[in-house]
Structure 1
Amino acid sequence: MDKENLNIGDLVTGKVNEDLDGAFTGTVEKVYENSALISITDFDAADKANVSELNNKIVVNLKQLKAAKAK
């Protein structure tokens, strides 16, 4: 995802193999040069302990994010 197309409050999906086993959905809280701070709102049940340990937030490289479709 391009930095220019990402705004605070956007709903995004992503997958981070280092921290979480499954994909997640979240809201953009801050945009950095090559990454974004995401508040995780929906995730795989197997990742519950990891998400809790991360305090429901994760910094993700922009290349690993996609715009989420609104439910």
Structure 2
Amino acid sequence: MKMDNIKVGDKLQGHVEEDMEQPFTGTVEKLYTNSVLIDIEQYDPQDNDNVIELNHKIVVNAQNLKKPAKK
């Protein structure tokens, strides 16, 4: 996803293989040059320990983000 299309408050889905086993969904809290700070809200139960260690926050490269699928 391009940075121009991302705003604070957007709900996005991302995946960071270094920190999380599965994709997660969260709200954009801060924008950086090529990445964003995400407040992790929905995630796979197997990532629970990782989310706790990250304090429910993670910096994600914009290229690894997308709009979540509508349910």
TM-score by length of 2: 0.95
Structure 1: runs of 5+ lacking an equivalent? none
Structure 2: runs of 5+ lacking an equivalent? none
Q: Establish whether residue 57 from structure 1 lines up as the match of residue 62 from structure 2.
A: no
Q: What is the number of residues matched between the two proteins?
A: 71
Q: Establish whether residue 16 from structure 1 lines up as the match of residue 26 from structure 2.
A: no
Moved over 6 A (4+): none
Letter in 2 for 1:46: Q
CA positional deviation for 1:70: 5.0
Residue aligned with 1:16, SS: coil
* Root-mean-square deviation over aligned CA pairs: 1.0
Aligned residue runs from structure 1 range 28-67, under 5 A: 28-67=28-67
CA distance in 2, matches of 1:38, 1:59: 6
CA distance in 1, matches of 2:23, 2:62: 15
Worse overlay, 5-14 or 61-70:
61-70
Deviations 1:24-61 (A, max 9, x none): 00000001110000000000000000000000000000
